[in-house]
A and B are shown apart, each in its own frame.
Chain A
C-alpha cells in the first residue's frame, strides 16, 4: 500500500539552530503534501500546504519565515524549522494524497525537541 515516510523520527537540537524534516511518498507521486503540528494530548493543526514546484500556502498564524517548506519533487517535501526555540518542540506530521484518489496518507511523524 501507499506509504509516506518521515525522517528523522526524533531529533533534538539546540535553541537557535535549524532542523530539517523530510516527508517522502515512497510508492506514489504527491503533488500536494500537508504539514501538521500536534502538541501533546492535542489534535493536529494544519500548518501549511506544500505544492510541488510552487510556494507553500501557510495557515493563518504560521510564520512562513520560521517554518520553511520546500517541495522540490513529486515525492519529497521538507520542513525546516529555523532558529528553533523550545516552544517549537512538538510532533510534526506530514500527509500526502496519492494522484487522483481521495485517500490521504500520513507519515509516522517527527518528534522535535529544542533544548
Chain B
C-alpha cells in the first residue's frame, strides 16, 4: 500500500523567491512518484515524474524534484517563482514496477501555492 503526505496545505512565496513544496511518501515497494499541477477549474497536468534512474528529475516550467529514498521524500522546487505558478500542486505515488499495469495513483491532499507580487 502507498500513501502520500504533503506538508502545508497553503504556501505563499514572493515572486522571484524559491518555491519548495514538500512531499513524503510511504510505499511497501519501490515507488513511482509524480507531481501534478491543477489550475482553477481545470484537470491535472503532469509536472514531472520519478520512475527509475536519476534521482533528480526536471519537469516543465522550471520545476524539479529529488527522490530521496532515505528520507522517503520527493520535494518539489523551483528557484524563482513566477506569478503563473499560482495553482494547486499534488504529489502522487504508485507502486512502481511491481504495480505496472495497475497504476492507481494515491494522491496527497494538495498544496495551494500563492505568489505574492
A residues in contact (CB < 8 Å) with B:
6, 32, 34, 42-46, 49, 93, 95, 97, 102-109, 111
Inside 8 A of B42's CB, which chain A residues have their CB?
A: 108-109
7 contacting pairs across A/B (C-beta < 8 A): A34-B105, A43-B90, A43-B108, A43-B110, A44-B107, A49-B104, A103-B46
Q: Which of B43, B100, B108 contacts A107 (CB 8 A)?
A: B43
> Which residue of B has the minimal Cβ distance to A105?
B46
In the complex, whether B44 has a CB less than 8 A from a CB of chain A is yes
Q: Which of B43, B100, B105 contacts A46 (CB 8 A)?
A: B105
B43 touches A6 (CB 8 A): yes
A102 touches B100 (CB 8 A): yes
Inside 8 A of A32's CB, which chain B residues have their CB?
A: 101-103
In the complex, whether B67 has a CB less than 8 A from a CB of chain A is no
Inside 8 A of B109's CB, which chain A residues have their CB?
A: 42-43
B residues in contact (CB < 8 Å) with A:
32, 34, 36, 41-46, 49, 51, 90, 94, 100-110
Least CB distance from A44 to B in Å reads 5
A34 touches B104 (CB 8 A): yes
Inside 8 A of B102's CB, which chain A residues have their CB?
A: 32, 49
Given contacts A42-B109, A93-B43, contact A104 B90 (CB under 8 A): no
Least CB distance from B116 to A in Å reads 21
Q: Which of A34, A46, A102, A111 contacts B41 (CB 8 A)?
A: A111
Given contacts A43-B109, A44-B107, A104-B34, contact A93 B101 (CB under 8 A): no
CA distance A107 to B46 in the complex (A): 11
B90 touches A44 (CB 8 A): yes
Least CB distance from B98 to A in Å reads 12
Inside 8 A of A108's CB, which chain B residues have their CB?
A: 42-43
CA distance A43 to B107 in the complex (A): 7
Inside 8 A of B44's CB, which chain A residues have their CB?
A: 44, 93, 95, 106, 109
